[in-house]
């Protein structure tokens, strides 16, 4: 009786946020997704744990499922020979999905990673945003993703890979960096915060965006360790009129060599401040000499002080420069 009363409510809801759900609730959701008259466009499953709910996964497979945004919760490591069930469901019905958030998933197996790459290039698929924050992602995931980005069938516009690799673990990211330079790649938003992007990947990204400069609008390289030479190359890229970046986020860049001797914190901070002065000088000169498309610059938690701070503020006040916001 309660099931019959709730079903019309669920079917007519455009957004569903699920914190805790009984077996009956999963069955209700699956039934609603299978209904031709359902209006469900967004599902956000914010549970700490999600066991295999075959009813729900079956609902995703239905041709009547019109979900455009799907955020999945933590899922325990599954059988190494099986594809993660929600991805399997989406492969059966890929045409409506626009955003897939996997940031709470860990230890995806090889079969699931391959299926995820397939989902990006399937005929009829329109996935535009992918979020994955799993630091255990291996080299084959990046290789599969790079292959997808080089395909004319891929519609991906936003890629959020925060915390996907650790310090001194850059090599696996290089195929993806190279793919960003392919003319078929139309990524507009790239987030690599907390990925410890070092000089090798930073240089590879600059090279890629030099080859394919016109699509990227937002870039987040917070907590990176770029090195002065690679950062200077990036500033040169900002001078290119074809490079249409509008938002640049560089929160707490790290200029310290982790393999260098462990000097005192005071000495380390002094180095950070000196390099930040050079960073600000390079950025302000670049933007004054060649006003770019940049609208927003976030340098939070970088030790910018005194004259450097004044230099940055003067950029916003200069009518010849399009910069509107500095944090």
The pLDDT tens digits of the residues spanning 181-200 come to: 999 999 999 999 988 888 88
User: Which element (helix H / strand E) includes 229?
Assistant: helix 228-238
Eight-state DSSP code of residue 135: T
Q: What is the pLDDT of residues 74-130, one digit of tens each?
A: 665 556 667 777 787 888 888 899 999 987 666 677 788 788 888 888 888 899 999
Give the pLDDT confidence score for residue 265 in this predicted structure.
Answer: 52
Give the pLDDT confidence score for residue 256 in this predicted structure.
Answer: 55
Determine the Cα–Cα distance for residues 114 and 109; give it in Å rounded to an integer.
9
How far CA 147 is from CA of 69, 81, 156, 324, in Å, comes to: 24, 23, 12, 37
Mean confidence (pLDDT) of the chain: 81
The yes-or-no verdict on residue 49 having pLDDT over 80 is: no
**Phi and psi (nearest 5°) for 101?**
-110, 115
Which among 126, 124, 65, 123 has a CA at the least distance from the CA of 99? 126
| Confidence bin at 48 (pLDDT 50/70/90) | low
The structure's pTM equals 0.88
Token representation of residue 307: 């004259």
Eight-state DSSP code of residue 324: -
């Amino acid at each position: 009786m309660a099931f019959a009363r709730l079903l019309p409510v669920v079917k007519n809801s455009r957004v569903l946020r699920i914190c805790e759900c009984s077996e009956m609730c999963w069955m209700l959701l699956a039934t609603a997704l299978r209904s031709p008259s359902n209006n469900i466009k967004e599902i956000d499953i914010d549970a700490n744990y999600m066991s295999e709910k075959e009813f729900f996964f079956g609902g995703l497979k239905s041709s009547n499922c019109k979900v455009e945004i799907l955020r999945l919760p933590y899922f325990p490591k599954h059988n190494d020979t099986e594809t993660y069930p929600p991805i399997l469901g989406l492969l059966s019905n890929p045409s409506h999905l626009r955003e897939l958030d996997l940031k709470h998933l860990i230890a995806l197996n090889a079969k699931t990673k391959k299926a995820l790459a397939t989902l990006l290039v399937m005929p009829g698929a329109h996935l535009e945003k992918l979020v994955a924050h799993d630091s255990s992602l291996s080299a084959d995931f990046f290789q599969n993703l790079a292959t997808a980005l080089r395909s004319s069938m891929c519609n991906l516009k936003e890629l959020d890979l925060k915390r996907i690799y650790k310090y001194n673990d850059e090599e696996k990211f290089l195929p993806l960096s190279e793919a960003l330079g392919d003319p078929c790649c139309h990524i507009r938003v790239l987030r690599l915060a907390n990925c410890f992007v070092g000089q090798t990947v930073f240089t590879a990204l600059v090279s890629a965006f030099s080859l394919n400069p016109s699509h990227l609008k937002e870039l987040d390289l917070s907590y990176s360790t770029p090195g002065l030479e690679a950062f200077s190359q990036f500033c040169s890229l900002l001078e290119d009129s074809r490079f249409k970046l509008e938002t640049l986020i560089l929160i707490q860049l790290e200029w310290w060599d982790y393999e260098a001797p462990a000097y005192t914190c005071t000495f380390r901070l002094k180095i950070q401040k000196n390099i930040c002065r050079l960073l600000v000088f390079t950025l302000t000169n670049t933007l004054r000499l060649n006003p770019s498309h940049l609208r927003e610059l976030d340098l939070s938690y970088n030790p910018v002080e005194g004259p450097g701070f004044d230099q940055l503020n003067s950029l916003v006040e200069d009518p010849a420069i399009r910069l509107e916001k500095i944090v």
